[in-house]
Structure formats: structure tokens, C-alpha cells
Amino acid sequence: MKQVLSSDNTHFKDSNSKKCHIVAEKDVSFLQYFRNKPAGDAMEFYPLFPKRDSYLLNTVWDFAFTEDFPDAEHVDFDRLSFDGAAAVPGVFDTLPGYCGARGIGFYRKYIDVKKAGTLLLKSGGLGLRGSVFWNREPAAMIDLPYSGTETLLKADRPGPCELILAIDNRFHFEKTPLFSQYYDFYAHGGIYRPLELQHLPEKSIDRVYVTTLDHAKRKIGIKIVLRGNMSDLQSMRLSFDGGPEIIPPALEFETVLKEFALWSPEHPVMHTLKLETEDDSIVEEFGIRTIKAEKGSLLLNGEKLHLHGFCRHESHPQFGPALPLQILLEDIGFLKDMNCNFVRGSHYPQDQRFLSLCDRAGILVWEEGLGWGDKRDHIENPSFRSAQKRQLKQMVRNSFNHPSVIIFGFLNEGDSHETYAAPFYSELIDLLHKLDPARLVTYASARGESDVNFSKADLVAFNTYPAWYAADSEKFRPLEEIPERLNQFLSFVKKADLNEKPVIISEIGAGALYGWHDRFKAPWSEEYQAEYIDAVCRYLSSTPEICGLSLWHFADCRSYTTSKSLFRPRTFNNKGVMDEYRRPKLAYEIVKQYFSRWCGQEKEGTRS
């Protein structure tokens, strides 16, 4: 089917498709980035399974809380009285009465199941670990915080069924090895993201994965994954953007979508694919684009790319990580308003709805597994290693079709300078490459010149805090340390023969307390942070060797409540250019101005 972009690049002429949208240019006002969506056509979050019966789960559930049980598996239901109520999605430990509580939150819902058979419970992410009970029988243990997971349930007959999710937010390294108390963001308890419950047909479709093999030729690879045996291809029908149906030649094949528009941050055009079988059908959304790291540059669809944006936590003082859609959409609006084309999803697998919004808004994403400053006691532990690998597999599976996701990462600020850890770094890099050969793989290093794993990653990503931590104690405002430190690192990259790898600064920043203004421009003032960000951006403007920046960070987030909070005023990580309620600090405008100048300059390799 032919699709032609209108001369102002804002919509398709002659397109029959309802699902192909292109978002607005960057000069439109806040929150209008989706204005070219056909009127009345609600945005969907894919994949969709139009033939399946499903149940409403995102509503108010019965709730009970206890600190008395040893874990979420060993539950004496007779000792619980579900006299509370809690929202799903939602976290219990920001609710009045449970603020800061650690224990098990029990969420209960009765579902009037329409027919006997298999049901699929999809969880977008919960934490810290959750036991699923179906009619009081244990059905699954979800021990990967933030990960999207799936659980199969059986209904013997139609009628009411009881679903209970027992969510334990206590720290226990062996049971929840991915989240430790020392991590610099608050570990909340609850159902972070939407739940879905669907009837599975006897022969069902799992996913259809799309990879762009050659953007110029519009050549894509398709991989159909089914549950169980169903290889009767003759009964399958596949179509793109509502166009003509074809019978797939195999479960895995290549095809060319001539004249389909490419996806890019400037023109984030999305396409749909529909696969139908007799019993089931799936609609997936995808974009056509390639990402490569070559000769020190990042190439998107073969063109040089400069990344500029933020690290972002999914965090809010009231909702914790269970961000309502309105906040997700607002955050996209703030990123676009500051002219960002990049966000690093620090430090865990992202909400799939946020990734779909990034697809539509043309924001490139680094998504990473959950990890933070992990050292030998973690990296050598079998439960930790297995959980790391399991979560990366889930992450790739869930995010595979998002064109916005260009980088997969893992183990933020781990022991990447220690030789004992090097085999595990290799294992995770190889795993991610194997799961998805078409994306870039890296990790954010805090080890600078002593890192021993850079040569294995597709790009060198380093976190650094000159003029903040370890700033020269004799200097009042040591901002000149910023260019010194960055120059030093670039000389190392050259000497270490790493300059064939693109280099990005994956974290840099300084704290500012919202509303604290100071004529001394002292550390913690909004003025100091604004000057700091200005110094970073000024340096990058004349340093084309660095092809990406994710400032630390987008908005303040709740962090330590232990004695470590002495380094975290208000118990928040205050390095956001906005506070936790998304109120902009002085640095916001500085970022906006630099990034506006950088937009579109990447192709020339210069920035000013």
C-alpha cells in the first residue's frame, strides 16, 4: 500500500491506514506532540489481541497488609482480613497509613470467568517481589522488579475466581537479588504498572517480532512465535498497515515494504502488522529504522546521530514508580519541550506505555536492566547472576518492536574495572547481542580510565561528576574541573585505542534544591546547577568526539531514607532539572536553549 508524506511532513496523503501517524514538529506547544493522530482514534498500546476476551483489572482491589509472614509464598489466608482498598496500578507504601512500610501487601480481586480454559495474566511490572495466587493456589512467583511478566492460569469452569497478588517489599538479597537497600532510589512495594487478564485460545499467538535489516531497501525480518504447535501456515493471514493480506511463507522470513516511511526522531512514523489465525489474532506496532555504531559515530538510518537528553527515573512522590498515564505523557511533553531526542531509562526495564509514547514522540531510548553499583558479593552470587539474565531476556522480549529503543544496557556503575567481573560483563553483552543483534549494547561505567570492559561494548558510556563529588575542596565553585575531566577521559579513549567506539556521557550533573536561590551561587543552589549544566553543554558544543549526553537527571526522585540520606537532602536525589513534581529549576531553560541549537546539527558533526 502506498504511503506518501504530505509536503509539510505532518501527515500521510493517500494512506488508508488509521494506525500510521507522524507527530508534530518541535515548534508546537507543550503536549501537542500527538496532534496528527486521526481524530477520534484512541492511541493503543501494542501488542493487541483483538479476538481475546479480557477482564478489567486496573481498578480498585481489596487490600490487606502484614509484616507477620516470612515471605510472600508462605501465607496463612485465614489470618488476613481484606478490609482495605488499593488502586491497581499503585503502590501501597506511599498511602497514608502505610507510608514507608515494609511487609506484604495483599491485593485481591474476584473475576467472573466466562468460560473454562487457559488465561494469561500479564503484569507490566511490580515490586519488589510478588506471589500470584489463583483460587488460593500458588501460580507464580515474580521476583524481577519492574519487569513485564506473564503467568498462565487455568479455569476449570465458568464462574467466580479469586486472584491474589501478595507483594513483598522487604529487602532480602537471596529472594530479590536485583534490588538492594543501598541503591540510590526508593524501593517501593506494589503493582507498578497495568495488569491484563485474557483468555487464551487453544492455539494462540505469542508475539511477532520485527527487525529492520536494511532501511534503504525497507527490508525487514519477521519472526512469528506461537504458543505450542500451530505450524499450519496456510491458515494464517498477515498484513501491514491494513493493506493486502498474505500467507506468511514461514514462521521466520524476510520481506520488503517498499515505499513505507522510515522512523526517525524527526519523523517518527509507526506501522502496524496484523497476524490472524483461525482462533487468534495479534496487532503489533513497529517502525523501520537501523541503528549502528561505526568509526566513532552513531548512525541512525545511515546518518550521523547526536543524542541529547536525560536519565529519567519513573518516580513521583505520590505514586512512586506507578506513574499514571498523565504523568507519562507530561514527561514526554517536558522532554520534547527541552528539545531532547534521548532518554536513558535509569535504572530498570521501562513501562511499555512510556516506550510507546517515545515511539510516537521520536525520543530515542536506552533501556537497561535493574542494577546499581553491584560489586563482588552480587556479581559472584548465582541468584543475582540468574536474575540478571532472566530480566534482560524479558526486557528484550517486551521491548523488541519499539523503534525508539536503540540501546540495551545493564549493571549501572558495577565493578567494570575488576577482572573478576569481566567474564560476567562478556556474558551479558553476548546475551543481549544474541537476543537482539540489531541493537547496541553497553553499560554505564563509573570507573573511567580503569574500566576493563569498554572494548567489548558497542559504545563507551561513562558517568562522571566533576565539580560535584570529589570536587577540589579548596575551590568554592570548581566548574573548571568539568572540561578538565572530560578532556582527560577523551585522551584516555584515544590512548586506549577506543576511538572507533562512539563515546557518550551517560551521567553528569549537580544537585539543586528547588526554590533555593543564592547570590553566592553555592552548591545546592539553582544557580550553581544552572552554571554547571551550562559548563557541560558549552564543552559538548565544541566537542564532536562525544556523540551523546544523558544529563543526570530529569526530575528529582525519592532516595535513601537510611543514614545515607545525610548526603541526600530531603531524602531525594536533587540533581533533577525539575523537582519531583516537575517544577522547573533554572537549569531547565539552559538545557532547552542548548538542545534547541543542537537539534539538526548532528549530521554536520558540529554543535554550537
Residues of this chain that interact with ligand ADA (CB under 6 A) are 184, 346, 412-413, 446, 463, 507, 552, 573, 575
- Closest contact distance (angstroms) between CB of 542 and ligand ADA is 25
CB of 348 to ligand ADA, least distance (A): 11
Q: Is 263 helix (H, G, I), strand (E, B) or coil?
A: strand
Segments of 156-194 assigned E as strands: 159-168, 190-191
| Residue closer to ligand ADA, measured from CB, 204 or 463 | 463
Strands 219-227 and 252-256: antiparallel
Residue nearest to ligand ADA (CB): 184
> Which amino acid, residue 399?
S
- CB nearer ligand ADA, residue 413 or residue 531: 413
Please, which residue, 63 or 560, has the CB nearer to ligand ADA? 560
Give the nearest distance from C-beta 427 to ligand ADA in angstroms: 22
Q: Which residue shows C-alpha cell 512522590?
A: 317
In this structure, are strands 54-55 and 195-200 parallel, antiparallel, or unpaired? antiparallel
Q: Are 290 and 406 in contact, with CB atoms under 8 Å apart? A: no
Q: 281 or 573, CB closer to ligand ADA?
A: 573
How far from chain centre, in Å, is Cα 589? Answer: 25
Rounded-to-integer distance, Cα 206 and Cα 472, Å: 56
Give whichever of 287 and 320 is closer to ligand ADA, judged by the CB atom.
320
Query: From CA 337, how far away is CA 578, in angstroms rounded?
Result: 13
Shortest CB 345 distance to ligand ADA, Å: 12
Q: Smallest distance from the beta carbon of 206 to ligand ADA, in angstroms?
A: 34
Q: φ, ψ for residue 126 (rounded to 5)?
A: -140, 175
Of residues 475 and 564, the one with the C-beta less far from ligand ADA: 564
Nearer to ligand ADA, 339 or 412 (CB): 412
Supply the minimum distance, in Å, between the C-beta of residue 552 and ligand ADA. 6
Classified as helix, coil or strand, 301 is coil
Residue 475 burial by Cβ neighbours in a 10 Å radius (0-12, 13-18, 19+)? exposed
Asked if residue 341 lies in contact with residue 547, where contact means CB atoms within 8 angstroms, the answer is no
CA pair distance 329, 343, nearest whole angstrom? 14
Of 164, 53, 190, whose CA–CA distance to 110 is shortest?
A: 164
- Of 184 and 436, which has the nearer Cβ to ligand ADA? 184
Q: At closest approach, how far in Å is the CB of 560 from ligand ADA? A: 10
Please, what is the minimum distance in Å from the beta carbon of residue 511 to ligand ADA?
7
Q: Tell me the C-alpha distance between 195 and 23, whole Å.
A: 28
Provide, rounded to whole angstroms, the least separation between the CB of residue 342 and ligand ADA.
Answer: 16
Helix/strand/coil (H, E, C) string of 393-428? HHHHHHHCCCCCEEEEECCCCCCCCCHHHHHHHHHH
In the β-sheet with 291-294, what is the strand arrangement from edge to edge? 291-294, 297-300, 303-305
Using the minimum distance from each CB to ligand ADA, give the nearer residue, 204 or 412: 412
Please say which residue, 413 or 415, places its beta carbon nearer to ligand ADA: 413
Q: How far is the CB of 280 from ligand ADA (least distance, A)?
A: 41
- 495 exposure class (CB count in 10 Å sphere: 0-12, 13-18, 19+): exposed
